[in-house]
Chains A and B, each alone.
Chain A
Amino acid sequence: DTAVSQTPKYLVTQMGNDKSIKCEQNLGHDTMYWYKQDSKKFLKIMFSYNNKELIINETVPNRFSPKSPDKAHLNLHINSLELGDSAVYFCAGRLGYGYTFGSGTRLTVV
């Protein structure tokens, strides 16, 4: 069983559209994260949720809205997509102290 799964793997969309990325974890841990990896490979935290509650928001534009319906799911909704949003987005769960990442979603805004 995959510990952290996210869909879709690839997402190509036009500027101005709204899109969602879904994430599910079966690690049994309460904390989940969204990270953004840009073209230079830098990994930057966007959000963290603990048991459905937002605990970290790293000055991400409010076009990005995470939604956690339960502690096993953390979805990312993005409104009014811009060219600069193109990146790989990783969901992660925390098992012990280390992270387990999902397979990533490559978002391309054209």
Chain B
Amino acid sequence: GENVEQHPSTLSVQEGDSAVIKCTYSDSASNYFPWYKQELGKRPQLIIDIRSNVGEKKDQRIAVTLNKTAKHFSLHITETQPEDSAVYFCAASAANAGKSTFGDGTTLTVKP
């Protein structure tokens, strides 16, 4: 089955700095890679995703990159703000798997 590793487990940055979270996956059949943000006491929410036919995708201050050859993908947050503080999960899924496999999460703290 799919195995997703996520690093780092915790990340602390100063407001305005950039943050990068990296994930690797094992199943070459995986073709969909979403990222979820979970604020304290709330549900995980999909913030951005990328499919295997695309190398990079941006949405305002967040971007995701995918390297299919190396089987890794990353989340980049620029100009971080205190409200970006949350747990971020990467995930990977194949079209026929019927489920997403999640990384273990990264706790991001943005210090004002």
Binding site for B on A (CB under 8 A): 31, 33, 40-45, 48, 50, 55-56, 90, 97-104
Query: Between A and B, how many residue pairs show CB distances below 8 Å?
Result: 47
Q: What total of chain B residues lie within 8 Å of the partner, measured CB to CB?
A: 22
Are B99 and A43 within 8 A (Cβ)? no
Inter-subunit contact A103/B102 (CB<8 Å): no
Chain A binder among B17-25, B38-46, B53-61, B71-79: B38-46
- B-side binding surface: helix, strand, loop or mixed? strand
- Separation of A44 and B99 alpha carbons in the complex (Å): 11
Q: Are A56 and B99 in contact (CB under 8 A)?
A: yes
When distances are taken between beta carbons in the complex, the residues of chain A under 8 Å from B108 are none
Q: How far is the CA of A100 from the CA of B44 in the complex (A)?
A: 8
> Top 5 A-B pairs ranked by shortest CB distance?
A101-B43, A98-B46, A43-B102, A97-B32, A98-B34
| Chain B residue with Cβ nearest A97 | B32
Q: Which residues of B contact A101 (CB under 8 A)?
A: 43-45
Query: Which of chain A's residues have a CB closer than 8 A to the CB of B44?
Result: 43, 90, 99, 101
Q: Judging by beta carbons under 8 Å apart, are A90 and B43 in contact? A: yes
Check B46 against A55 for contact (C-beta < 8 Å).
no
Contact of B34 with A42 in the complex, beta carbons under 8 Å: no
Q: List 13 extra interface pairs beyond A33-B99, A43-B102, A101-B44, CB under 8 A.
A: A31-B98, A41-B38, A42-B102, A42-B105, A45-B99, A48-B98, A48-B99, A56-B99, A90-B43, A97-B93, A99-B36, A99-B100, A104-B43
